[in-house]
């Protein structure tokens, strides 16, 4: 079993660290919010006194932080903690951040003889709690194989996307497509409803036709077409609008850097920004259905 230092015990990181403990790993934890630390210590993790302490004398460091600036300031800045990580250890960053930052962190750590993979996740809080996350890993073959047994304690599917940064790119490609599909599905359903169609009948027809897609089949945005999805529970739970807005921002950054044409992604970003500005940031991302239900004048 490995010795692991875990930094960032929020909605995702808390249950992920708890699953590492459950799998028998020796886990030290740190977060700026003491209550988040206490919850994981209750599950058998050891409390570290500082970010420097949590990475000292461990074989693996896992971070689950809000954004690229937090990851860079921890691992790359002057006041960062890299000097406390032992040579030969591995850092796994599971935060969703821009690929450029992942590369900067990877280069810096590699120069200190510390290996690095970016390993963003999909599967949300339920996946973190149930240990069923999908990890999308960027790094060398050797580093992927080293990280995999640790990631398996927190996830079900572990993909190797390519070199450092590729995990982040694959994740935002997927989430950009998801936003586009959710927006398109909502638009089609709302137009049918305006013509008096029953959304369930229309969904059944499109599911047997060429418009079939994941959002229509498993995450229908129209209330009461499917049971147990956020749209049928007041758009509570699920994947928050503000997190989708963040991922679309990262997708547009990546599009600019790679000079990719992403007009559909840009439009989806625009719509999610409007939804968030209307106070829906904490609702599930399928609530874009409500925005597109407004009548055009």
Do residues 138 and 153 make contact, with C-beta atoms less than 8 angstroms apart? no
Q: How far is CA 272 from CA 137, 195, 247, in A?
A: 27, 25, 11
Rounded CA separation 126/227 (Å): 17
Judged by CB under 6 A, the residue of 1, 24, 32, 149 near ligand NAD is 32
- Which is closer to ligand NAD, CB of 181 or CB of 197? 181
Rounded CA separation 118/275 (Å): 30
Judged by CB under 6 A, the residue of 1, 57, 66, 69 near ligand NAD is 66
Of 61, 9, 15, nearest to 36 (Cα)?
Answer: 9
Judged by CB under 6 A, the residue of 19, 82, 96, 269 near ligand NAD is 96
Judged by CB under 6 A, the residue of 5, 6, 8, 254 near ligand NAD is 8
Rounded CA separation 283/235 (Å): 6
Judged by CB under 6 A, the residue of 43, 108, 112, 124 near ligand NAD is 124
Rounded CA separation 230/225 (Å): 11
Q: How far is CA 187 from CA 147, 180, 221, 290, in A?
A: 41, 11, 10, 10
Strand partners, 137: 160
- Which is closer to ligand NAD, CB of 72 or CB of 206? 72
- Which is closer to ligand NAD, CB of 24 or CB of 66? 66
Choose one: 64-72, 102-110, 194-202, 285-293; the region binding ligand NAD (CB under 6 A).
Answer: 64-72
Could you confirm whether 171 is annotated as catalytic? yes
- Counting residues that bind ligand NAD (by CB under 6 A) gives 27
Q: Is the torsion defined by CA of 192, 197, 199, 202 positive or negative? A: negative
Helix 34-41 to helix 13-22 angle (10° resolution) is 20
Q: Is 64 in the site for ligand NAD (CB under 6 A)?
A: yes
Q: Is 186 in the site for ligand NAD (CB under 6 A)?
A: no
CB of 24 to ligand NAD, least distance (A): 23
What stretches of the chain show up as alpha helix (H) in DSSP? Answer: 13-22, 34-41, 51-55, 68-75, 99-111, 124-130, 141-151, 166-194, 199-207, 214-218, 241-258, 263-275, 288-291
- The DSSP bridge pattern shows strands 26-30 and 46-47 to be parallel
CB of 256 to ligand NAD, least distance (A): 20
Judged by CB under 6 A, the residue of 41, 76, 125, 264 near ligand NAD is 125
Q: Is 62 in the site for ligand NAD (CB under 6 A)?
A: no
Q: Which residue is nearest to ligand NAD (CB)?
A: 10
Judged by CB under 6 A, the residue of 6, 30, 60, 285 near ligand NAD is 30
Catalytic residue among 72, 171, 245, 246: 171
Q: Is 221 in the site for ligand NAD (CB under 6 A)?
A: no
Q: Is 277 in the site for ligand NAD (CB under 6 A)?
A: no
Rounded CA separation 223/234 (Å): 8
Q: By three-state DSSP, how is residue 51 classified? A: helix
Pattern 228-257, binding to ligand NAD, x per CB under 6 A? -----------x---x--x-----------
* Binding footprint of ligand NAD on the chain (CB under 6 A): 7-13, 30-33, 36, 51, 64-66, 70, 74, 95-96, 121-122, 124-125, 239, 243, 246
Active-site residues, by number, are 171
């Amino acid at each position: 079993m490995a010795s692991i230092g875990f930094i960032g015990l929020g909605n995702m990181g808390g249950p992920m660290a708890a699953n590492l403990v459950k799998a028998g790993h020796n886990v030290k934890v740190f977060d700026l919010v003491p209550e988040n630390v206490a919850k994981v210590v209750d599950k058998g993790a050891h409390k570290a006194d500082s970010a420097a302490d949590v990475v000292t004398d461990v074989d693996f460091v896992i971070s689950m932080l809000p954004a690229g600036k937090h990851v860079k300031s921890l691992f790359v800045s002057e006041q960062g903690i890299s000097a406390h990580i032992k040579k030969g250890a591995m850092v796994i960053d599971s935060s969703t951040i821009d690929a450029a930052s992942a590369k900067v962190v990877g280069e810096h750590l590699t120069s200190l003889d510390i290996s690095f993979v970016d390993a963003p996740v999909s599967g949300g809080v339920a996946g973190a709690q149930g240990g069923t996350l999908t990890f999308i890993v960027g790094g060398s073959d050797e580093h992927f194989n080293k990280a995999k047994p640790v990631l398996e304690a927190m996830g079900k599917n572990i993909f190797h996307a390519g070199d450092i940064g590729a995990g982040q790119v694959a994740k935002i490609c997927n989430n950009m497509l998801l936003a586009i599909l959710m927006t398109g599905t909502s638009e089609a359903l709302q137009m049918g409803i305006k013509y008096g169609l029953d959304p369930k009948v229309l969904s059944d027809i499109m599911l047997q036709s060429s418009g079939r897609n994941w959002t229509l089949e498993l995450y229908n945005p129209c209330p009461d077409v499917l049971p147990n999805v956020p749209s049928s529970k007041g758009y509570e739970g699920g994947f928050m609008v503000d997190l989708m807005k963040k991922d679309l921002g990262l997708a547009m950054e990546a599009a600019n850097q790679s000079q990719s044409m992403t007009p559909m992604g840009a439009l989806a970003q625009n719509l999610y920004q409007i939804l968030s500005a209307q106070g829906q940031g904490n609702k599930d991302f399928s609530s874009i259905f409500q925005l597109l239900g407004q009548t055009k004048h």
